C-alpha cells in the first residue's frame, strides 16, 4: 500500500511540474532567462561532444527553449585553422562563445569559468566581443 501511495504521489508531482513548466513557457518573455554554459575546447573530440549534446540534451529540452539557451564556452584557439573551424560551426549552430583567454589546461577549469561569469556582468550574451553572432 505504501508503494502505491508513493507512486500516486510521484505521478501527482510530475503532473504538477509539467503544468508549472507549461505555464512558465506560455507566460515567459521571448528572451530566455536561463543560460546553460558548457565549458568546451577546440579539439575534434570536443567538437564531437558538442554535436552529441546538441543532438541529445538540446533536442530533449527544445520545448524549454523559450526560457533557456545553451552556449559552449571556449578560450581562443591556437591556430587560424582552428578558429576557421569554430566560425563554420558557429555559423551552423550559433551557440559558441570564445573568451579572450588562451585555451590550455591551466585555464580550462579555473580561469575560463571565472572569465565567463565576470564577462556576463560586463557584456550581454549577444555581444560581438563575447562570441560570434547568433543564428
| Each residue's pLDDT tens digit, 109-134 | 788 888 888 887 776 554 434 444 44
* Whole-number pLDDT of residue 123: 64
Q: Where are the alpha helices (DSSP H) in the chain?
A: 2-27, 44-55, 57-60, 80-93, 105-108, 111-122
Specify burial of residue 38 (Cβ count, 10 A radius: 0-12, 13-18, 19+): middle
Reduce the DSSP state of residue 64 to 3 states and report it. helix
The pTM of this model reads 0.65
CB 116 within 8 A of CB 125: no
How confident is the model over 26-49, as pLDDT tens digits?
665 566 667 788 889 899 999 999
Of 9-18, 64-73, 123-132, least confident by mean pLDDT is: 123-132
d(Cα 95, Cα 100) in Å, to the nearest integer?
17
Amino acid at each position: 500500500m505504501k508503494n502505491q501511495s508513493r507512486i500516486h504521489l510521484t505521478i501527482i508531482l510530475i503532473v504538477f511540474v509539467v503544468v508549472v513548466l507549461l505555464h512558465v513557457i506560455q507566460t515567459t518573455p521571448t528572451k530566455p532567462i536561463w543560460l546553460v554554459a558548457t565549458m568546451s575546447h577546440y579539439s575534434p573530440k570536443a567538437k564531437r561532444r558538442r554535436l552529441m549534446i546538441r543532438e541529445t540534451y538540446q533536442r530533449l529540452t527544445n520545448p524549454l527553449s523559450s526560457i533557456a539557451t545553451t552556449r559552449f564556452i571556449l578560450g581562443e584557439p591556437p591556430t587560424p585553422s582552428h578558429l576557421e573551424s569554430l566560425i563554420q560551426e558557429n555559423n551552423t549552430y550559433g551557440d559558441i562563445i570564445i573568451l579572450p583567454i588562451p585555451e590550455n589546461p591551466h585555464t580550462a577549469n579555473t580561469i575560463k569559468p571565472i572569465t565567463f561569469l565576470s564577462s556576463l556582468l560586463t557584456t550581454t550574451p549577444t555581444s560581438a566581443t563575447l562570441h560570434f553572432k547568433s543564428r
